[in-house]
Amino acid sequence: MELSRLLRHGDRALILAQRLLEQITHAPEIEEDMALANLALDLLGQARVLYTLAGEVEGGGHDEDHFAYWRDAAEFTNPVLVEQPNTDFAHVIVRQYLHDEFALAFWQAAGWDVAAKAVKETTYHRRHSRAWLVRLGDGTPESHRRAQAALDTLWPYVDELFAGADQLRPAWDVAVAATLAEATLAVPQMLPAEPIHEHLESILAELQVTARAHPGATW
């Protein structure tokens, strides 16, 4: 297992979890609050596993907390897609679905012992985000407009999601095209965006502030 790959996917799971946790008390209904928090908790668990493995591979005595709390933005290598802002519920769902379809293929192909649990979790994540995306796209004119807008905003970050995992792209394209057709949404034709970690600083500020203010604290 390569260190850079473990860290990229640990960062992917951690940053997406943090974005989802920002949604608590902001989801359209209390049931969805709970659903998004569940996704975030699963992702947090996946990040912990990957960071722990990263520590073992690196051999520098670093634990999961080191990778989550004590690295700066410049050291994070998450796909830019997962740090995109929540903006509205459509953005949350579109980001999640584009991610989940990737993450499921990633875990299925990973061939790691720790992947079996993540495959089960991610299968459910995709089921949830896919169900919502179809309902938003094929819902009211307003929900359709917002879902298409979110898709157009987030699509330019899809290419970079596959950095180092190009072989997963063809199956993803097929699966996503089928979902978008069911959701009556158009596949965007946008060009890839520069993968700049524009939002990482502010996400990490909130994620790391407590750990850094009280180093080594336990509860």
Partner 1 sequence: MWEVFVRAKRGVSHVHTGTVHAPDAELALQHARDLFTRRSEGVSVWVVRSTDITASNPDDRESLFDPALDKTFRHPTDFELPDEVANM
The nearer residue to partner 1, 71 or 135, going by C-beta atoms, is 135
Instruction: Tokens for 204, please give them.
Output: 């990490």
**Is 25 an interacting residue with respect to partner 1 (CB under 8 A)?**
no
Following DSSP, what letter does each residue of 99-160 receive, concatenated?
HHHHHHHHHHHH--TTHHHHHHHHHHHHHHHHHHHHHHHTS-HHHHHHHHHHHHHHGGGHHH
**Is 157 an interacting residue with respect to partner 1 (CB under 8 A)?**
no
Report in angstroms how near the CB of residue 39 gets to partner 1 at its nearest.
9
d(CA 20, CA 87): 12
The nearer residue to partner 1, 84 or 122, going by C-beta atoms, is 122
Report in angstroms how near the CB of residue 135 gets to partner 1 at its nearest.
6
**Is 94 an interacting residue with respect to partner 1 (CB under 8 A)?**
no
Through-space distance between the first and last CA atoms of the chain, rounded to whole angstroms: 32
Report in angstroms how near the CB of residue 115 gets to partner 1 at its nearest.
21
**Is 38 an interacting residue with respect to partner 1 (CB under 8 A)?**
yes
Q: Which of 99, 128, 148, 158 binds partner 1 (CB under 8 A)?
A: 128
**Is 20 an interacting residue with respect to partner 1 (CB under 8 A)?**
no
**Is 138 an interacting residue with respect to partner 1 (CB under 8 A)?**
no
Q: Which of 24, 109, 131, 209 binds partner 1 (CB under 8 A)?
A: 131
Give the binding range for partner 1 (CB under 8 A) out of 17-25, 49-57, 109-117, 126-134: 126-134
CB 136 within 8 A of CB 146: yes
Amino acid at 74: A
Residues in the chain: 219
The kind and range of the H/E element at 63 are none
Q: Which residues are within 8 A (CB) of 107 and not within 5 positions of it... i.e. 6 or more apart?
A: 115, 118, 119, 122
Could you tell me how many residues of this chain bind partner 1 (CB under 8 A)? 13
Which residues are at the interface with partner 1 (CB under 8 A)?
A: 29-32, 34-35, 38, 124, 127-128, 131-132, 135
